[in-house]
Amino acid sequence: MHGARAVNVLLAGPHRSGTTLACALLNQVPGVVALDEPCPVSLFSPRESIPDALAQFIDTQRRSLVDEGRARAQVSDGDHAGKVPKLAPVLQRIPGRFGDQLFNRWGARQTTDRMGWLRLAAPVDEPFTLVVKQPAAFTAALPQLAARFRCVALVRNPLATLASWNTVDFKRDGRARVAERIDPTLGPRLDAIKNRYRRQMELLSWFFERYRGHDLIRYEEMCWDPNETLSVVTPVDGLAPFESRNLNPKYSPYLIEKLATLLLNSDGAYWEVYWREEVRRLAASYL
């Protein structure tokens, strides 16, 4: 292919924003391979060596795809998004630590993700576009990575993002441990906030702050027109629109109202990308 070249793209975004879906869509595009969170945690320490370590890791992944038709990635034995248990809306109303314990045992979204192999039907030929997704780690290291790699972030309506965070135990506490190790300013910011929901909003604001000046994809626009929006990553054609999952009947209206009230009275960086009216409309859909 005359003029074609191998391209590496890093995909960041807050957890539960649609980055896994974006990878699935991109894997339908000829000449593109998208890997879901393939990087070992050890790659991100020490901070100073992250770009070099990532470059070596990506080279290894590319060779594996060309020689063997496979690469390391997060894989799922079923629905990657997981199932929200029927008790979740009830358990979300129980306050305090006891409510958290009950929710984590009986109401948290169940997933079967594990590190494994993304296997192609056949080895891929160079040049091809390799997309690597690592939401929190790439976000934390973005200032270093953007100087060396093509970086894109995918974001979602802040109310939908926070509602989803409250269905998975690894985000309900409003922490991002890998990101906190990479960005030494993040941990103290979160430590200072005792209320879990406000800590979640502070963390979400941090994500959006890191994306200032970088290419962004809004999840909602990806649903309406995946070809146009994903072309920020690589030329895309032939993908059909699909329904947004921002409105999820398994989210408790009580939780939605609480989160919407806190969000609308906050000044987070997410308001640089979304309008308050978009959060009001989504909240009204639940009530």
Contacts of 201 (CB under 8 A, 6+ apart): 158, 162, 262, 263, 266, 268
Q: Give yes or no for a contact between 127 and 7, defined as CB atoms under 8 angstroms apart.
A: yes
Q: Give yes or no for a contact between 278 and 213, defined as CB atoms under 8 angstroms apart.
A: no
Q: Is 117 helix (H, G, I), strand (E, B) or coil?
A: strand
Residue type, 26: L
pLDDT in tens, 59-109: 999 999 999 999 988 876 444 455 555 555 555 555 555 455 445 544 545
Helices then strands, each counted (H, E), the chain: 15, 7
DSSP secondary structure string for all residues of 118-157: EE-SSPPPSS-EEEEE-HHHHHHTHHHHTTTSEEEEEE--
DSSP secondary structure string for all residues of 17-52: SSHHHHHHHHTTSTTEEEEES---GGGG-SGGGHHH
Residue 166 token pair: 């409250």
pLDDT in tens, 123-157: 999 999 999 999 999 999 999 999 999 999 999 99
pLDDT in tens, 12-35: 999 999 999 999 999 999 999 999
What is the C-alpha to C-alpha distance for residues 126 and 279, in angstroms, rounded to an integer?
A: 43
DSSP label at residue 105: H
Residue 16 token pair: 């539960």
Find the DSSP H helices in 69-218: 88-91, 96-106, 135-140, 142-145, 158-165, 169-172, 177-182, 186-191, 196-210
pLDDT range class, residue 2, cuts 50, 70, 90:
very low
